[in-house]
Structure 1
Amino acid sequence: MVEPEELPPREAWHRYLNGRRTELTEETASTYHYRLKLFAEWCEDNGIETVADLNGWVLDEYESYRAGQDVASTTLHNEMETLKNFIEYLERIEAVDDDLADRVNVPHVPRGERSRETRLSTDRALALIRHYRSTDAVHGCRRHALLETAWHTGARLGGLRALDLRDFNREEQTVEFIHRPESGTVLKNKREGERVVALNERVCETIGTYIQTDRYDVHDDHGRQPLFSSLQGRPNPNTIRVWMYLATFPCVQGECPHRYDPDSCEFRNHSKASQCPSSRAPHHVRTGSITWHCDRGVPREVTAERVNASQDVIDEYYDKAEERDRMEKRRRPHLNKLTIE
């Protein structure tokens, strides 16, 4: 039997992630996989054959290497945080010194830099939605319904993919997000991510039109009917991403800001849609949506319930209102208390 300290970094990384599969969503596991893959490959390139070779100097050298790759400060922070968790696992199985995780430096990132700047802006989102609503050729198409649902609910990619036809209630004007791991769809926060989200009439009309005119009437491998369906059944996560990239092309409702010809632009190919500088992924739409909720004055607790995020996370990462706007939101409701009769 191989002793834990004899594990190569690559084998240890796979063992670590395999042990966490039940508690991580597919997307989170994929993110951790990529981050630790970078570390394992660096170890192999630098003669680190087993985890017993890891020490504070090696970990500091890796951080210096990644910092020299000109990665964003938030990226480096997240990568080192994941590495620290991995080293803590190695401590637990007695593969490394007990205090090695304490030697992993997770660089501090100022709050302003931690916020996610890449998002679908409100101006662009509303212009796109208005275009889809007012143009017969695309009104109620799958891309329209997906974008409008994502923008109105602030849902994650996994939540959008998990929706079934039965989860949309036209009469009550709601959509329900349900954790169904036994049949292939999970929510990021599992049961705690389950919620019913109210929709307004225009969003319901869009989804209803999509169901009647552009939705494939199919079942997935578990006999369920996905709301956002492909010809083969329930789309995989990457397909949902591509649909959103295509839905948010700037040339959908105006001229290309990058001066490409839409008729010959290579980005309009499904495999390259993500490379359009202005297309946005579902997470960018979620970020923009939550910002829009905040900017429109929706109470934090209401927004938190709708999008399944804590109020602190919304404040730190999503509420992009300028400081002056924040001041206005704070003080306006209280001005009547200061009136002098």
Structure 2
Amino acid sequence: MNVDHFDFDLPQERIALRPAAPRDSARLLVLDGGSTHDRIVSDLPSELRAGDLLVFNDTRVIPAQLEGTRGAARIGATLHKREGPRRWRAFIRNAKRLRDGDPIDFGNGVTATASDRAQDGSFALDFAGEEPVELLLERAGRMPLPPYIAAKRPTDERDADDYQTMFARETGAVAAPTAALHFTPGLMTALKAAGIGHATLTLHVGAGTFLPVKASDTDDHQMHAEWGRIDQATADRLNAVRAGGGRVIAVGTTSLRLIESAAGTDGLVRPFEGDTSIFITPGYRFRGIDGLLTNFHLPRSTLFMLVSALMGLERMQAAYAHAIENGYRFYSYGDASLLLP
């Protein structure tokens, strides 16, 4: 499809620079069948049904942005995918000053050697020493806020908490699964009381999630791979919920993409561990999910294409126009939508 179909005008003041406080006070636009109504996230127990299951991504964001030097040249690195115990693939700022074999000094005793430049301009970085790379990043890295926030304000201490979900457990993401940022212990208690369950899976979100679609046709866009895992017990639970008449509601596009990667044409979810580069556009037949809770996405993005595949392009264009007109806050720290086709 022509990528222009997924474009829309978004006023800059609609981009949220901080999350709602408390988190579950964010607004919630509900698209349920043919109806559209305005709620807040804490209303979620009344918008779902007893027997439904919310599926969260338990990945934990690492301090994946690094600033360093190669000789006199300043080099910026954003890690986006682990390739080995001490090796990460990274997007590089000022990459023209970097060659295979060059060392980069990131300060605080953290150094890495660049190699294996890829067609997309990224390098592999091999971190020196014997300390776990996670400890090195805690010393030298900072939280990788999305570019549309980082361009407007610097990262600060609040972001270390704000940009981490209450489910964060498995270290390895370089971007938060932001739909889950809206959840609080109190909301989880209310959902449980309403008979709504939850499960977790792991997809380590990569920085490629923020890359613009440069192709003019969706068929020509290449997704970056991300590593994910669904264990046997979780797959069995998802299948049991649907077999019992409940709905599987993915919390975030990352959860949805991993479930769909693990689901067969028979609609059954199977254990999964490995890379996925699934790209969902209109015409896709969903296999493993029945709904999605997600934030509001960028124009021309793969994520707006995904929600348009779930609900229909015209429906999502109208919903986003409603959200813009009614002051909803967009992107990672913004408000949410509940999409029930």
Larger fraction in helix? 1
- Report the TM-score when normalising by structure 2: 0.23
Larger Rg: 1
| Relative contact order higher in (CA < 8 Å, ≥ 6 apart) | 2
- Report the TM-score when normalising by structure 1: 0.23
